[in-house]
Chain A
Amino acid sequence: KAGVTQTPRYLIKTRGQQVTLSCSPISGHRSVSWYQQTPGQGLQFLFEYFSETQRNKGNFPGRFSGRQFSNSRSEMNVSTLELGDSALYLCASSLVGTASYEQYFGPGTRLTVT
């Protein structure tokens, strides 16, 4: 079974621009979560989607948004990029009905904002 895939793997953007990252979960997984990882703040939860609905949201500004499609694929968007948005963005998927502790992470998208 294929793992979680994320595209693109690397991205360089300029301050003020916007960016869209994509995540394809493991087949059959309906929950998709997004995390931001930086050296200073570590791994932080952004939001979680299930059945095209946002179920949980972390403490991030409204510039960070996401959506989930009917095939469970998810995208996250960051508008008006700031230098501090440079990070590794990780997507994770999990099965519905299982305990929430076991999530499968993708390789991440490395975003650099200049």
Chain B
Amino acid sequence: LAKTTQPISMDSYEGQEVNITCSHNNIATNDYITWYQQFPSQGPRFIIQGYKTKVTNEVASLFIPADRKSSTLSLPRVSLSDTAVYYCLVVPDSGYSTLTFGKGTMLLVSP
């Protein structure tokens, strides 16, 4: 499984755009890049996934360069409720439901 590296923490203010970059140098051809969000004392919640280029949904955008060795989760105009831990995962498209979580990035949004 490809190892992921992301910042331990980030700070932002309400209304700003936040970009969290994840490094995954050893990503394999059939791996997907996936991001989860976790609030304290709750289970993680799936945010977005992608394979290459750009993916956008109602919550976030995911940018993946051509070499796929990194990815950037973009959260537009964050609010206080976006304060959470964000996990970047590399998941093989194997059909098996095993997620390997790293330490994640603790995002703190201030007023």
- Bin chain B's interface residue count: 20 to 34
Contacting pair A105 B44 (CB below 8 A): yes
* Given A92-B97, A101-B32, A103-B99, also A110-B43 (CB < 8 A): no
The CA-CA distance from A48 to B100 in the complex, in Å, is 13
Asked if A99 meets B43 with Cβ closer than 8 Å, knowing A43-B101, A55-B96, the reply is no
Total A-B contacts with CB atoms under 8 angstroms apart: 78
The chain B residue sitting closest to A32, CB to CB, is: B97
Name the prevailing secondary structure of the A interface residues.
strand
Is the CB–CB distance between B46 and A108 below 8 Å? no
Tell me whether B29 is interfacial, beta carbon within 8 Å.
no
Interface residues of B in 26-64 (CB under 8 A from A): 32, 34, 41-46, 49
Asked if residues B42 and A103 are in contact (CB atoms below 8 Å), the reply is no
Given the known interface contacts A42-B103, A100-B91, A100-B93, the answer about A108 and B98 at a Cβ–Cβ threshold of 8 Å is: no
Question: How many of chain A's residues touch chain B, expressed as a range?
Answer: 20 to 34
Which secondary structure dominates where chain B touches chain A? Answer: loop
User: Is B76 engaged at the interface, CB distance under 8 Å to the other chain?
Assistant: no
B102 interface hit (Cβ, 8 Å): yes
Known: A45-B98, A48-B96, A100-B94. A108 touches B34 (CB 8 A): no
The chain B residue with its CB closest to the CB of A102 is B46
Q: Is the CB of B32 within 8 A of A99?
A: yes
Q: A42-B101, A92-B97 are in contact. Are A101 and B91 (CB under 8 A)?
A: yes
Nearest residue, chain A, Cβ from B49: A101
Contact present for A31 and B97 (CB under 8 Å): yes
* B73 contacts partner chain A, Cβ-Cβ < 8 Å: no
Q: How far is the CA of A90 from the CA of B97 in the complex (A)?
A: 14
B41 touches A33 (CB 8 A): no
Enumerate B64-111 residues with CB–CB distance to A below 8 Å.
87, 89, 91-104
- Name B's A-contacting residues (CB within 8 A): 32, 34, 41-46, 49, 87, 89, 91-104
